[in-house]
């Protein structure tokens, strides 16, 4: 999506320092989950190390390499890394067990409340499975903010394919030109662009800033409330 098709009521940082121009007001936001809404990095690390020890055994768990593929569906990462698909069962088990230790990124709760108040349609499109994503959001008291929560097991092809964002658009019933995808991984940006929506990179988690900026996203957000600059002003209550 060209930058001048994204709506903004105030400047928001782009990779080249330009402000996004106001044109077609945004009506929907599709969020990635891990690293964007929630801080699950340490839980993810512990789950991966346990799964590797149980299935592979001795050796140095390649967690740094795993991190380079974040945003993808777990089985797809295992295939890329040449690791046994059997790691998924203990990884998911440990992820559920450790879920109470996952936290919400600072400012995200307030952002979601504001987006709901403005009438912006919201969805989650995550590399997690749908049931695990919905369970986590429910546990954190965030599920009610979203119209739809989609997992990679619920579409034919996971990110970086556009399928999950296209399905979100279909369910939200909002055109692509009035939607943005907010993510912290290159796979999120690729999925967004494949679906024809604005590709927004966030830098408040464990994201690889250099890799994201190299993809020239349509906007870069350093704090959750930076997203509000892309949205129409709320209509005052009478």
Among the options 4, 16, 32, 225, which is catalytic?
32
- Residue 56 domain flag: yes
43 compared with 18, residue with greater pLDDT:
43
Q: Could you read off the pLDDT of 97-151 as tens digits, one per residue?
A: 999 999 999 999 999 999 999 999 999 999 999 999 999 999 999 999 999 999 9
| Confidence label for 58 from pLDDT (cuts 50, 70 and 90) | confident
Number of domains observed in the structure of the chain = 2
The predicted structure's pLDDT at residue 18: 33
Is position 32 annotated as part of the catalytic site?
Answer: yes
User: Which of 81, 101, 121 is the endpoint of a domain?
Assistant: 101
In angstroms, the CA 195 to CA 189 distance is: 10
Of 236, 197, 220, nearest to 2 (Cα)? 197
The predicted structure's pLDDT at residue 91: 96
| 112 and 96 in a common domain | no
- Domain span at 177: 3-38+103-230
18 compared with 193, residue with greater pLDDT:
193
| 29 and 130 in a common domain | yes
User: Sign of torsion, CA 115 119 120 125?
Assistant: positive
Is position 34 annotated as part of the catalytic site?
Answer: yes
User: Which of 58, 82, 101 is the endpoint of a domain?
Assistant: 101
Among the options 16, 34, 42, 163, which is catalytic?
34
| Confidence label for 232 from pLDDT (cuts 50, 70 and 90) | low
């Amino acid at each position: 999506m060209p930058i001048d098709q994204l709506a903004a009521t105030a400047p928001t940082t782009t990779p080249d320092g330009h402000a996004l121009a106001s044109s077609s007001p945004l009506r929907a936001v599709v969020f990635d989950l891990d690293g964007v809404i929630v801080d699950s990095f340490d839980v993810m690390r512990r789950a991966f190390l346990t799964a590797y020890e149980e299935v592979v055994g001795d050796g140095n768990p390649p967690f740094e390499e795993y991190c380079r593929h974040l945003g993808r569906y777990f089985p797809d990462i295992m295939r890329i890394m040449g690791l046994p698909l059997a790691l998924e069962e203990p990884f998911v088990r440990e992820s559920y067990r450790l879920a109470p230790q996952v936290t919400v990124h600072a400012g995200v709760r307030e952002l979601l409340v504001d987006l709901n108040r403005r009438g912006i349609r919201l969805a989650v499109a995550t590399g997690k499975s749908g049931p695990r994503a919905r369970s986590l959001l429910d546990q954190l008291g965030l599920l009610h903010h979203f119209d739809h929560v989609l997992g990679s097991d619920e579409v034919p092809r996971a990110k970086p394919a556009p399928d999950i964002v296209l399905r979100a658009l279909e369910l939200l019933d909002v055109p692509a030109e009035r939607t943005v995808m907010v993510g912290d991984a290159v796979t999120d940006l690729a999925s967004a662009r494949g679906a024809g929506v604005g590709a927004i990179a966030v830098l408040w988690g464990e994201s690889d800033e250099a890799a994201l900026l190299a993809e020239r996203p349509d906007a870069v957000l350093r704090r959750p409330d930076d997203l509000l600059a892309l949205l129409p002003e709320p209509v005052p209550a009478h």
